[in-house]
Amino acid sequence: MIRFDDGVIRQVERICPSGVMRNFDFASRSWWRIGGTAPLAARPRTRSDIVALRRFSQNVDLPTLVIGEMSNLLFADERVDALVLQLGAEFSRPTLVDATTVRIEAGAWVPGVARFLQQHGMSGLEHICGIPGTLGGLVMMNGGSLRRSIGEHVVTVTSVDANGDTIERTRDECDFAYRHSVFADLDEVIVDVTLRLEKGDPVRMRQTMRDILRSRRLKFPRKLPNCGSVFKSNPACYAEFGPPGAMIERAGWKGMIRGGAQVSPLHANFIVNRGGAQAVDVLSLIGDIRQSVHDQTGHLLEPEIRYVDNDGKVWTADEAHSRFIANASG
């Protein structure tokens, strides 16, 4: 267990004097309302803060966990032994480069980004208007909706590595693929993103976004805590079997309960917390659903969500489920 002694705490507070929280509680803050606590969390306001935190963490061999709004993360139920770096509203400033190009800090709330672009007549990312989370997380997973992705409009991405060095990558260097980027496999903090859009009509853009939000409200569960879509919609699989929710429903999992977690009766690609759900409940459902759908279709669903273990390491949900099974049998 890492010791967060007074010296460590004081140094982090010097770097982020107004943005440090002790005993950071994931269960009260994460979208799934699941998880334990971390000893210390910092909310940097500038790139310099992030550089200083990364260098300090490296020098004292302190594990770090980078989070945004936690909209696609599942946390271990016990203590998460890492320094949490949370990018949020304090680190969300946009800078207009020209009429169709903008640079935005990674802590920006994604629906707010969509609204900012609409107000400035910068079209192409209306489809992100209903996606919860921060811009850095969206770029890391090359997220989007309606089978589109933000990577289509990325010009450059700036990040800070574990040594505190700043790196700028072009879109090609980001290695964007469907719901994936190079950042998913790197220990780097995305700090800002430059986007290039097309000129659009703000009125039409606003109507498009309203239609998208209306559709999401009708289809997706909103009353119980959840992390959105659990499994990715593979374009190749979609043509033969349809979206993941339909595949899961045909396999008989819609409405199924495991502990405090349930496959949503409204949309089978959502797992909701009915009250008191634990991480193992969600991972157990994910593992059994994947196996059941594979038995029926020959296709292994790939989870969108990621699991944070007690050491602050981040795994895909299927990797985490496999580790749970191995530990239980060992």
Residue 232 contacts by C-beta under 8 Å, 6 or more apart in sequence? 178, 179, 244, 301, 302, 303, 304
pLDDT at 280: 95
Q: Per residue in 14-43, pLDDT tens?
A: 999 878 999 999 999 999 999 999 999 999
Q: Would strands 306-308 and 73-75 be described as parallel, antiparallel, or unpaired?
A: parallel
What per-residue confidence (pLDDT) applies to 323? 86
- Tell me the domains of the chain and their CATH numbers: 6-89 (3.30.43.10), 90-205 (3.30.465.10), 222-329 (3.90.78.10)
Mean pLDDT of 96-102: 97
Q: Quote the pTM value.
A: 0.92
Please say if 179 is a catalytic residue: yes
Sequence-distant (≥ 6) Cβ neighbours of residue 111 within 8 angstroms: 128, 129, 130, 131, 132
Instruction: Look at residue 2 in the predicted model and tell me its pLDDT.
Output: 62
User: Which one from 145, 290, 304, 306 is the annotated catalytic residue?
Assistant: 304
Catalytic residue among 43, 45, 179, 306: 179
Give the tokens for residue 112: 């707010």
Does the pLDDT of residue 330 top 60, yes or no? no
Residue 251 pLDDT grade (very low, low, confident, very high; cuts 50, 70, 90): very high
What pLDDT is stored for residue 1 in this prediction?
57
pLDDT tens per residue, range 155-200: 999 999 999 999 999 999 999 998 899 999 999 999 999 999 999 9
Q: Could you tell me the pLDDT band of residue 329, with boundaries at 50, 70 and 90?
A: low
From the candidates 123, 229, 264, 292, give the one annotated as an active-site residue: 229
Mean pLDDT of the 146-150 span:
88
- In angstroms, the Cα distances linking 46 to 19, 74, 106, 142, 287 are 11, 27, 11, 24, 39
**Which of 100-104, 135-139, 316-320 bottoms out in mean pLDDT, i.e. has the lowest?**
316-320
- The pLDDT score that the predictor gives to residue 63 is 92
Mean of pLDDT over the chain: 94
The pLDDT value recorded for residue 210 is 97
pLDDT tens-place string over residues 196-245: 999 999 999 999 999 999 998 888 888 899 999 999 988 778 878 889 99
Closest by CA to 197, choosing from 152, 135, 139, 153, is 153
| More confidently predicted of 285 and 324 | 285
